[in-house]
Copies of this chain bind each other. A is one copy, B any other.
Amino acid sequence: MSAAKDYIRPIDFKRGRVDLTHGSGGRAMAQLIDELFLAAFDNDWLRQLNDQACFSVPAGRLVMATDSHVVSPLFFPGGDIGCLAVHGTVNDVAMAGAKPLYLSAGFILEEGFPLSDLKRIVESMAAAARQAGVPIVTGDTKVVEQGKGDGVFITTTGIGVVPADVRVSGDRARPGDKILLSGTLGDHGVAIMSLRENLSFGTSIASDTAALHELVAAMLAAVPDIHCLRDPTRGGLGATLNELARQSGVGMHIDEAALPIRTEVAAACEFLGLDPLYVANEGKLVAICAPEDADRLLAAMRAHPLGREAAVIGEVRADPHHFVQMTTSFGGSRIVDWLSGEQLPRIC
């Protein structure tokens, strides 16, 4: 990032639009960085104006996670691509049991995109980063010609530090372990799909997008030996449980009646032909722990605002096929397979 202070006039964030000069490495790019990104993200690392951020870390284990965000539409009930890009990567870092430290952000802007929308998105990112306590310390901006992008794509990368006694990993689920879910399923995906389909379901359905690292910290304080954590985003709970089953070489069994789903989300899913098991969430997590730790973990989750509706939804079983099975509300049984097709494109 760079800066030049003697601009002829300030950027017109009301009527202006992104043009190719904003990605050129010249004066217009420097001005956009100064007047938008530095102003919103506002921290000492960015103000160094180097092409990288420098910071000190203690010796130990770090994690690094990255997510590209292409959600469409860019603004939706409960959030926008900006806060989503912060939450998504903070959560990927937190799912290692790590405390997120720093974020980077790479923007790919489409020529002609309204600067007012970009400002709104960047300010939403800044607010989400401030609220999470995780500064955006370095970044990059590119501009592509009209018709070669779609408004704005944001790739965030996060690093975090793993406490010494924490060993969370997707390969640690063991037969007998309990599977916990932090709250209701499907809110994010249904909020996006309702908007796309121009549907309104009486009561409003909003994305659950949220940063989960403080919930995770509270959970680890109660149960340091959590075996697995993962946020069921794209592909929903179904994909997440299948991933964990493969990684750990186990089967899983969940109970449909135990799954927390808001009535209006269930109704919307039925109307839209979506299976809530595969709908993306952006503020929920799955945790797996030893059976003797489950009550303590559940209590810690329910004591946190983002885990109030947490539930034990099933258990890990020995299974050479690594199947995820579900007892349905009617008492039957079904396999929860990998999603085969594309249920919800560009959901995050």
A→B interface (CB under 8 Å): 2-5, 19-21, 23-30, 48-70, 72, 92-93, 95-96, 98, 102, 104-108, 137-145, 147-150, 153, 155, 157, 159, 162, 169-171, 230-231, 233-236, 239, 242-243, 246-247, 278, 280, 338-346
Contact = CB atoms under 8 A, between A and B. Distances in A.
A82 to B, nearest CB: 16
Given A24-B235, A235-B25, A54 B63 contact: yes
Contact of A106 (B68, B93, B142): B68
B50 A55 contact: no
A243 B27 CA distance: 10
B61 A55 contact: yes
A93 B105 CA distance: 15
Contact of A338 (B27, B55, B235): B27
A228 B238 CA distance: 51
A59 B23 CA distance: 36
User: What is the predominant secondary structure among interface residues of chain A facing chain B?
Assistant: mixed
A57 B59 contact: yes
B49 A64 contact: no
Nearest to A235: B25
A53 B59 CA distance: 16
Contacts of A138: 64-66
Contacts of A145: 345-346
A50 B4 contact: no
B26 A338 contact: yes
Contact of A169 (B48, B147, B341): B48
